[in-house]
A and B are shown apart, each in its own frame.
Chain A
Amino acid sequence: AQSVTQLGSHVSVSEGALVLLRCNYSSSVPPYLFWYVQYPNQGLQLLLKYTSAATLVKGINGFEAEFKKSETSFHLTKPSAHMSDAAEYFCAVSDNNQGGKLIFGQGTELSVKP
Chain B
Amino acid sequence: EPEVTQTPSHQVTQMGQEVILRCVPISNHLYFYWYRQILGQKVEFLVSFYNNEISEKSEIFDDQFSVERPDGSNFTLKIRSTKLEDSAMYFCASSPQLAGEFNEQFFGPGTRLTVL
Contact = CB atoms under 8 A, between A and B. Distances in A.
Interface of A: 32, 34, 36, 42-46, 49, 51-53, 90, 92, 94-107
Contacts of B31: 99-100
26 contacts: A32-B99, A32-B103, A42-B109, A43-B109, A44-B43, A44-B107, A46-B104, A46-B106, A51-B102, A53-B101, A96-B99, A96-B103, A98-B99, A99-B31, A99-B56, A99-B99, A100-B31, A100-B95, A101-B33, A101-B45, A101-B48, A102-B35, A102-B45, A103-B45, A105-B42, A106-B41
Contact of B43 (A42, A52, A90): A90
B100 to A, nearest CB: 7
A90 to B, nearest CB: 6
B55 interface: yes
Interface of B: 4, 6, 31, 33, 35, 41-45, 48, 50, 55-56, 91, 93, 95, 98-110
Contact of B42 (A32, A51, A90, A95): A90
Contacts of B107: 36, 43-45
Given A99-B50, A101-B48, A107 B103 contact: no
B42 A99 contact: no
Nearest to B101: A51
Contacts of B45: 101-103
A97 B48 CA distance: 13
Given A98-B55, A99-B31, A104 B42 contact: yes
B3 to A, nearest CB: 9
Nearest to A104: B43
Contacts of B91: 43-44
A43 B110 contact: yes
